[in-house]
Each structure stands twice: as C-alpha cells, then as structure tokens.
Amino acid sequence: MSLKTSFICESAIAICAAIDSHEAEIESLDRAIGDGDHYINMKRSSEVIASMVNELKPLPPDEALNKIGMKLLSTIGGASGPLFASFFMSMAKVVKHNGANNPLEIAAAFAAGVQGIMQRGKAELGEKTMLDVLIPASTTFTISAAAGKSITEICQAVKAAADEGLENTRNLVATKGRAAGLGERAIGHLDAGAKSCQVMIHASCNLLLKS
C-alpha cells in the first residue's frame, strides 16, 4: 500500500463532510473552554481544501500535501493556520525524501507532521490540545505498521488511540492552546481541537476501511 494523491483528495472530502456533521459537538466544546471560533475555522478550512481537489489530483502526493499546507497557511489565520500547515508541510517533506510506499513509511510521514505541530506550537502531550489525540494516534500507527498488521487492524487501532486520547483531555488542565488561562476551570471538558482531530482521523481511517 502506498500513499496516493487520490486518497489525499478523497480524504479531504470525507474530512469536510465529517467536520460538518459534528458541528454541534465541536461548537459546544469550544464555547465551554475556547474562544468560540474553532468550528468556523475548521469548517472554512476543510471546505477550502475540499474545493481544491481538482487542482491537487494531477500532483504527486508530496506536492499535494505541501499545497494543502500553503493553502491553509494563507486561509485560516490565527494559530490553527500555522499549526495545520506545519503538519502538512512537514509530512510533505518526508514523503518527498523517503517516499510513502508502505504503511511504515506513511506512519513515519504522519509522525513528522505531528512533530511539525509540536515544534510550531511548542507543545507536548498532556497540555489539553489536539496533540493529545495526534501523538497517541501517531505512535499507534507506527507500532502497528512496524508489527506488520493489516490495513484494517492499523486503522482500528489508530481510531481507538484517537478516542482514548480525546477522552484523556477531559481531566487535563490546559497549559497551551485555547483553554490555557482557564486553569482548573477547564477540567471536566474535552478539548475542541482534540475533538476535531479525532473526527478527522476517523474520517480518513473509515475511508480506508471501506475500500
């Protein structure tokens, strides 16, 4: 299995639909402990990317990923633009140099993307941000791929890791991101950015599970 631009495009469309169908949930999480504009940003950016699939289709996967990153960078603004852009641009670099021709290489590219977010946001696991979903999902992806698991098994494991990571944000005090500054007041709420990432991971995995 290798990473194909057609999958990136289908994934973009699936993510856009998934964000749309989780509007109420993401919005209410962000209203509780965020600044209230996270859903609008996610909707706007996922629509922009879904609308550029025709431009992306003829490109090799690394160029498609890089183009998504550049587009997010000039479209979103705020902190989410550079964070998501860093994910796609870091991933693109690894795909370009090392290829993405098997699950382990794709996992390495995904891990580079997550690393890009960590560096840009100067954040780590356990700070009540999207990284609390992305880091465990990435680690699970790498471990399952290295163990030679099937695509189905990998996807199920990654989804489960994302679910668990999301649930873990409930009892964290936020030290980075939208809920930082609320201190103890954020305890008991899931993080909206973590929820969006869990939704996106599910959307992409479900696409692979269907095929």
Residues that bind another protein (CB under 8 A): 35-36, 73-79, 81-83, 85-86, 120-122, 175-178, 180-181
Cβ proximity to another protein, 70 vs 143, nearer residue: 70
- The DSSP secondary structure of the chain, one letter per residue, reads ----HHHHHHHHHHHHHHHHHTHHHHHHHHHHHS-S-HHHHHHHHHHHHHTTHHHHTTS-HHHHHHHHHHHHHHHS-TTHHHHHHHHHHHHHHHHHHH---SHHHHHHHHHHHHHHHHHHHT--TTSSSTHHHHHHHHHHHHHHHHTT--HHHHHHHHHHHHHHHHHHGGGPPP-SSTTTT-GGGGTTS--HHHHHHHHHHHHHHHHHHH-
Cβ proximity to another protein, 79 vs 104, nearer residue: 79
Work out how close the CB of 175 gets to another protein at its nearest, in angstroms, rounded to a whole number: 7
Work out how close the CB of 162 gets to another protein at its nearest, in angstroms, rounded to a whole number: 24
Work out how close the CB of 188 gets to another protein at its nearest, in angstroms, rounded to a whole number: 18
Cβ proximity to another protein, 159 vs 189, nearer residue: 189
Cβ proximity to another protein, 60 vs 78, nearer residue: 78
Work out how close the CB of 115 gets to another protein at its nearest, in angstroms, rounded to a whole number: 15
